[in-house]
Structure 1
């Protein structure tokens, strides 16, 4: 465990060197963006720090609405001179063992590579998309609610930064995660270092705000005479449907614009249904978002709700955290260990894919990634884990 501020700052340098092309923060401030007591490092005898992994104390909203404790894993990296030696595996194992000790039943991350984290029990639990709206075509259908008041705020002001953080605490959709003070501080710092200008609006009357959007202009080199002026909305948070309508109406009402790009957005956003011409909306660039790890399988399964009726028995295998290996009887009434014959056998990484409802068990079966012992049990499992909406986080870290 790294505790010294300089040592933690060096760990971020190791991560950035491993990643090659990410922007760098001010060296003197790097450690202030890391939560104390949550960074681990790998040293080789007689050498400097060569590998690191960190995390933040966090929660995740799981199906049913509970906010359960999780570790937001970040900054996993090994110097390119020391890869292929098992250092990353040792660091991640150490992290997961610490999660168990802290009572964090989940861990999640954003993956720079799509082929390495499954070996440690992580699976893709949610996806995001980019949504492009052609503004001149975007006319609202009659009857679409107006939403409420929207006002601009100043992202350079600490009070307005704190307002956004307060609004976000109301995030209530499956897959949403906590944004720690360290996350907000790092985002504000990176905006400060950027040459781009960011704008922010909040929805709702003062004291009762329930949503916000942060956006920036795209390609400003020829903005004055451009015929393709666009903004990119990089952070869109609506805790109520009223906020959703109000913020979308505002974004599409900004003068001069030809395009509004919202990225990231849920894959099942349905923005086109608001408009008379659905072709004004183009959804593209669908990609993985949440890589999830069930650290304590039984506690994680018990934390979420399931649709009635029916029950299914899942046999879970976990080579890294072997206490998770076993059979689980799942129904709307609860979750329990069992000796019954399993309907499905699967690795913990595949269970992570289905846990939030973003992937169906039949999809995993069709891909040969799980073993199905009973087709009826497969159908019941899909029903139990099903959600009305696709999971979505919307937070990059």
Structure 2
């Protein structure tokens, strides 16, 4: 049997950190003297006898739902099992314990970033948002009559952390999928250190009233002066309003000695190409999964999410790990209620999670065989009820 318990001592937490990196294979070893930035009581260890063989932890946070409501959220990370103990039920025991703990804490949802996309569906996580990496060719890019925008200035990247946290706090994003940048998240960002090469921070807006920021760095700087393709990578673009987005894009397009700007992560409906006279100056390099969502309390999550459109759809939910979620729900713009009998649509909780933020459409999921359709007209009603104005997007790693 696996013994799952909370890790509390510094020695066990450091062992957990080293185990995670061993499980991930390609991550560097942790610094022996580095500070452990973990939320107390949320790091789990799986033991076989006296040996730590698996780990998982989480951070308390908030997640924005369609309509702008924020719900209590567990940001799940550092999930790993030693390669000598995989496929023995260790991960299942860890994830089941963690889900139950998060629900008992009153958290409505959990999310994670998946190192392997095939793992987490069996634990009820659905792929709920995507992100795109976009390359902007500054040799072709010109703004297409864009209006004036807020002023932009540079800050010292080493000392800007408090200002950046304040900007994010004062200008919360209302986009579904947004995750709170907690104090612990900011501390982890800072603890990772500057890394190789120079790094820069640009903020938009007047001092004390900034509305967004961009963190960026040049790459391949050894050959910078003689290079024919000097590239800057934007690792974090926080632009919760169109004005902030325009101001920061305008600034990045104005950089001298730069040929290409790569945005590592943008929402799928980002307006960047439409700002340009030449749409093709912005090229999508890749689209990848971002948020994997787990509904911990299905009725509470649906009640907090904005719904729109006429009619009611009855959805039957299956949830083997948290059976209290299982059942049929009559869902409409006026509210949600449990009902007896079969649903017009039947799904497992992972499929419901995929549709929940609006990142996947019900017809799309049904076409993939993930929805049992008992009433064809219910698909149209479900798509209208769960429709969103913006693609869901978190924009942060954790």
User: Separation in 2 of the partners of 1:302 and 1:197?
Assistant: 46
Q: Is the 8 A contact 1:314 1:345 kept in 2?
A: yes
Provide the residue aligned with 1:211 in structure 2.
212
1:267 equivalent to 2:261? Answer: no
Provide the residue aligned with 1:123 in structure 2.
126
User: Separation in 2 of the partners of 1:357 and 1:300?
Assistant: 14
Q: Is the 8 A contact 2:131 2:267 kept in 1?
A: yes
Provide the residue aligned with 1:245 in structure 2.
246
User: Separation in 1 of the partners of 2:27 and 2:173?
Assistant: 28
Deviation at 1:167, TM superposition (A): 1.6
Normalised TM-score (structure 2) = 0.96
Provide the residue aligned with 1:287 in structure 2.
288
Give the unaligned 5+ runs of structure 1: none
Report Cα offsets for 1:42-91 as digits up to 9, x if no partner. 1111x331110000001100000011101000000011111111111111
Deviation at 1:340, TM superposition (A): 5.2
User: Separation in 1 of the partners of 2:125 and 2:232?
Assistant: 34
User: Separation in 1 of the partners of 2:282 and 2:355?
Assistant: 29
Q: Is the 8 A contact 1:147 1:244 kept in 2?
A: no
Deviation at 1:308, TM superposition (A): 2.3
Deviation at 1:356, TM superposition (A): 0.2
The correspondence of residues 228-243 of structure 1 with structure 2, limited to 5 A, is: 228-243=229-244
SS at match of 2:118: coil
User: Separation in 1 of the partners of 2:331 and 2:303?
Assistant: 9
SS at match of 1:29: coil
User: Separation in 2 of the partners of 1:330 and 1:178?
Assistant: 28
Provide the residue aligned with 1:373 in structure 2.
374
User: Separation in 2 of the partners of 1:79 and 1:137?
Assistant: 49
One of 158, 172, 175 as aligned partner of 2:174: 172
Provide the residue aligned with 2:73 in structure 1.
70
1:108 equivalent to 2:111? Answer: yes
User: Separation in 2 of the partners of 1:197 and 1:329?
Assistant: 55
User: Separation in 2 of the partners of 1:8 and 1:108?
Assistant: 22
One of 48, 51, 65 as aligned partner of 1:44: 48
Q: Is the 8 A contact 1:110 1:290 kept in 2?
A: yes
Stretches of 4+ aligned residues off by more than 6 angstroms: none
Provide the residue aligned with 1:384 in structure 2.
385
Q: Is the 8 A contact 2:17 2:30 kept in 1?
A: no
Deviation at 1:270, TM superposition (A): 2.6
SS at match of 1:81: helix
Report Cα offsets for 1:335-374 as digits up to 9, x if no partner. 1111254221000000000000000010110011110111
Normalised TM-score (structure 1) = 0.96
One of 90, 94, 110 as aligned partner of 1:91: 94
